[in-house]
Structures are given as structure tokens and as C-alpha cells.
């Protein structure tokens, strides 16, 4: 049975009626440009083909009845249309509630209850943006069901607003953007300062992108994510004393080197160095990819990991073991952590005919060093959030 048929059956079992419409939002990986989005720099992510499904039907009431196949034990969680405040015990449904509340506060009419069943294929907490995927699948569902005149970009911004103001994570816009705007076989170069973007075909010839999951759960809200962001803001505050800038992403290498002496605290200096050079690397990586210089593209990916390890300090033993073991394997162009770090996933660009050996070798070393298994998946680049039509 395919996923959609299975979801239809499950919907019927839970809600005792047929489903009306189907929606999907992918997860994402970021090829390069990490921790640059909230610093006004560039990112280079893409949507992947696995993500979150939502199956829905109106229910002639004033409540949303929400069910996730990933949280069966929680059962159906009912939410009143006029009571959408964040409540910890509402668990995963807070992302859905947050989107409804956010869009309503922006003036969109969402005034009828619905039954919705969700199914997520993205391993939870793996750093492939299961939460942004849930936000965006809710966004396209609300747009579709209520005929909202809202652009995907506005759903993307609404998703970020939910994350920042409702969930309480100060994340940037990369995840929601990649998930909302993704395009098959393309990565998106996004300038997070202006939101100008362009699609770049990811032509990797004989190579696969392999996602390597540390299986070390990462909780963004509990992590040091907000702390890193505050450290970068502090660096910016100091540099602004002599420079007319609004973000670290505006700095070229020369200007940064000239003014970096203003930052006396060694930790803050390292954070700023990462933000500035990672942004430069990202623009450079797109140029190399466009020229077909895959070796150079891979080298920049490796440099990104080194900087995230030494200067930004967000990798940890699990991610380092994966990336550093990957570098030693045959047929590998590059490898790095992807997403926020502190666990979650890394990616590697690996020759297709070397993939099996790669997975075996890296898997063995990881198990030996860390004591439990890593998981490996081949990433295919897919489209952004959408309705599934038959």
C-alpha cells in the first residue's frame, strides 16, 4: 500500500469518515551556509523528498481535532478555534495551533473546525526540520481549505514567527524558506538579509548526497542555539561602534580582518569569524557548483564543518566522528554537519558506486566510537510544500 492509501485508511479509522484533501511539506538539508541566516548572510539549502503529510476534512464544529501517527499514544487532541494559546501539554499540536493563530492574527479568516491526521517521515529531532515541515504543511493546508489569498513566502514568514514568538526558539528563516520554496533537483541560494533568492541546479553527476543521522536527539529549544545567536548579536553591537552595518553578513573578509580587534572576548570573536567566513564560503560554493568544480565545492563543505567545530562549537563528538570518518573514505567529495548542530544529521557527497562501502565503513567506525548506530539515507531533492492532487 502506498503512503497516501495508508493515510486514507488511517484517517477513516480515527475519524470514521473519508478524508477530503491531502497536503505535504518536505524536510530540508542545508548544503552550506550554517548559522548564517540569523546573521543576515547566505544559506544554500534544499528540500528533500521525505517530509510530513496532512490529511483533512471539515468537521462542522468549532474545534480542530488533531491526530499524529507519530504520537499514537497521545490520541486525538482537540483544540478550540478561539483558544489557541500555547500549552505545553498540547505537545506537537502547538506547531499547528501556532500557525492557525498566527494567520488569524494577520487577518486571514479561519473559522471552521477540521479533523486532521498527520504523518511525518522525518526522524524527529534529527535536524532535518521536522518542526518547520509541520508548520508549512499546516500553512498550505490552511491556505487550501480556507482559500486564503496568501503567498508561500508569507506562510514561510508565518512559520518563522511561530517558531520565534510562540514556540520560543530564535531560529532564522532558512528552514521554513527551504521547505516552502524548495524545487526538485535544485538548491536555493537565499540572501537572508533581503530574502532575494535563486535556484541552482544540483548537478552532482556520479555522486549521491548521503544523510548521516547521529541518532543523538537534538532539542533546538533546549540547546545552545539561542546562546550562539546572542553571541553574534554582541559581536555586531561591538563592530557597529565603528562600522555602519546592520548584520555580520554584510562584512567582507577584508573589513572583518581590519576591525576584528574591537572584539576583545575570544569566544565572541570566534563566533563572528564563523558567521563572516561561512557566508563568504557559501557564495563561493555556489560559484564552484555552477562551474562544475565539484572538488572545490566539496572542499568548502569540509571547511564549513571545521569552522562549525572549532569556531562556532556546535558539532560535538557524534557529528565530528561522522564527518571526519567520511573525509577518509574513497570517493567522498565533502562532508559536514547540517542544520543547527549539537547532534542531528551530517551530509556527505559520495560517489554512487562507492556508496555501499562508504555506509559500511562509516557505520562501523561510528558504532565503535559512539556505542550505538548511525543511520544513512540517500537524499533526493524534491519540491516545496504543496497539495497532493490525484
Side-chain-facing half-sphere of 209: CA atoms under 13 Å: 31
Per-residue contact track with ligand GLA, 339 to 358, x per CB under 6 A?
xx------------------
Q: How far apart are CA 137 and CA 118, in angstroms?
A: 9
Establish if 95 lies at the interface with ligand GLA (CB under 6 A).
no
382 - beta bridge partners? none
3-class DSSP state for residue 332? strand
Establish if 115 lies at the interface with ligand GLA (CB under 6 A).
no
Establish if 182 lies at the interface with ligand GLA (CB under 6 A).
no
Q: From residue 148, how far is each of 20, 103, 151 by CA, in Å?
A: 17, 10, 9
Please report, as residue ranges, which positions from 220 to 239 form the binding site for ligand GLA (by CB under 6 A).
none
Task: Between 175 and 320, name the residue whose CB sits nearer to ligand GLA.
Answer: 175
Establish if 90 lies at the interface with ligand GLA (CB under 6 A).
no
The DSSP letter of residue 335 is: E
Active-site choice (37, 115, 175, 320): 175
Cβ distance 370 to 387 under 8 Å?
no
Establish if 249 lies at the interface with ligand GLA (CB under 6 A).
no
Closest CA to 116 of 176, 69, 154: 69
Task: Between 129 and 208, name the residue whose CB sits nearer to ligand GLA.
Answer: 129
Q: How far apart are CA 294 and CA 378, in angstroms?
A: 18
Helix (H) or strand (E) holding 184: none
Establish if 215 lies at the interface with ligand GLA (CB under 6 A).
no
Establish if 38 lies at the interface with ligand GLA (CB under 6 A).
yes
CB of 362 to ligand GLA, least distance (A): 23
Per-residue contact track with ligand GLA, 302 to 341, x per CB under 6 A?
-------------------------------------xx-
Establish if 37 lies at the interface with ligand GLA (CB under 6 A).
yes
Task: Between 156 and 381, name the residue whose CB sits nearer to ligand GLA.
Answer: 156
CB of 196 to ligand GLA, least distance (A): 17
Task: Between 162 and 186, name the residue whose CB sits nearer to ligand GLA.
Answer: 162
Give how many residues touch ligand GLA by CB under 6 A.
10
Helix (H) or strand (E) holding 17: none
Establish if 175 lies at the interface with ligand GLA (CB under 6 A).
yes
Helix (H) or strand (E) holding 165: none
CB of 39 to ligand GLA, least distance (A): 9
Task: Between 35 and 386, name the residue whose CB sits nearer to ligand GLA.
Answer: 35
Q: Using CB under 6 A, which of 26, 120, 159, 172 touches ligand GLA?
A: 172
Contacts 24+ apart (CB under 8 A), 190-197: 190/37, 190/42, 190/43, 190/44, 190/45, 191/41, 191/42, 191/249, 192/36, 192/37, 192/38, 192/39, 192/40, 192/41, 192/42, 192/43, 192/249, 193/40, 193/41, 193/246, 193/247, 193/249, 193/250, 195/153
Q: Is 252 a catalytic residue?
A: no
CB of 177 to ligand GLA, least distance (A): 9
User: Residues in the site for ligand GLA, rule: CB under 6 A?
Assistant: 34-35, 37-38, 171-172, 174-175, 339-340
Active site members: 175
Amino acid at each position: 500500500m502506498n503512503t497516501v492509501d495508508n493515510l486514507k485508511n488511517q484517517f477513516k479509522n480515527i475519524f470514521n469518515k473519508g478524508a477530503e484533501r491531502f497536503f505535504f511539506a518536505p524536510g530540508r538539508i542545508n548544503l552550506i551556509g550554517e548559522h548564517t541566516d540569523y546573521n543576515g548572510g547566505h544559506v544554500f539549502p534544499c528540500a528533500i523528498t521525505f517530509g510530513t503529510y496532512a490529511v483533512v476534512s471539515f468537521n462542522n464544529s468549532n474545534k480542530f481535532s488533531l491526530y499524529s501517527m507519530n504520537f499514537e499514544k497521545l490520541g486525538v487532541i482537540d483544540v478550540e478555534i478561539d483558544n489557541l494559546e500555547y500549552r505545553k501539554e498540547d505537545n506537537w499540536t502547538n506547531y499547528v495551533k501556532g500557525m492557525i493563530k498566527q494567520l488569524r492574527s494577520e487577518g486571514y479568516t479561519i473559522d471552521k473546525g477540521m479533523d486532521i491526521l498527520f504523518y511525518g517521515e522525518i526522524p524527529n529531532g534529527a535536524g532535518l526540520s521536522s518542526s518547520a515541515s509541520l508548520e508549512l504543511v499546516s500553512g498550505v493546508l490552511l491556505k487550501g481549505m480556507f482559500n486564503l489569498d496568501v503567498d508561500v513566502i508569507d506562510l514561510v514568514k508565518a512559520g518563522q514567527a511561530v517558531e520565534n514568538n510562540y514556540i520560543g526558539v530564535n531560529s532564522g528563516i532558512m528552514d521554513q524558506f527551504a521547505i516552502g520554496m524548495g524545487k526538485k533537483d535544485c538548491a536555493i541560494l537565499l540572501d537572508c538579509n533581503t530574502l532575494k533568492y535563486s535556484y541552482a541546479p544540483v548537478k552532482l553527476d556520479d555522486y549521491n548526497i548521503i544523510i548521516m543521522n547521529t541518532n543523538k536527539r537534538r532539542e533546538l529549544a533546549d540547546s545552545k542555539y539561542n546562546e550562539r545567536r546572542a553571541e553574534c548579536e554582541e559581536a555586531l553591537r561591538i563592530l557597529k561602534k565603528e562600522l555602519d552595518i546592520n548584520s555580520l553578513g554584510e562584512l567582507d573578509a577584508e573589513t572583518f580582518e581590519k576591525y576584528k580587534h574591537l572584539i576583545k572576548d575570544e569566544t565572541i570573536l570566534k563566533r563572528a569569524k564563523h558567521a563572516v567566513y561561512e557566508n563568504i564560503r557559501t557564495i563561493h560554493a555556489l560559484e564552484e557548483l555552477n562551474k562544475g568544480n565539484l572538488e572545490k565545492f566539496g572542499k568548502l563543505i569540509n571547511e564549513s564543518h571545521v569552522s562549525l567545530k572549532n569556531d562556532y562549537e556546535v558539532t560535538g563528538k557524534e557529528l565530528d566522528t561522522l564527518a571526519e570518518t567520511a573525509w577518509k573514505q574513497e570517493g567522498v567529495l565533502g562532508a559536514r554537519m547540517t542544520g543547527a548542530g549539537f547532534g542531528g544529521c551530517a551530509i556527505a557527497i559520495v560517489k554512487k558506486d562507492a556508496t555501499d562501502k562508504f555506509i559500511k565503513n562509516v557505520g562501523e567506525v561510528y558504532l565503535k566510537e559512539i556505542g550505538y548506530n548511525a543511520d544513512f539515507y540517500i537524499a533526493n531533492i524534491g519540491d516545496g510544500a504543496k497539495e497532493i492532487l490525484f
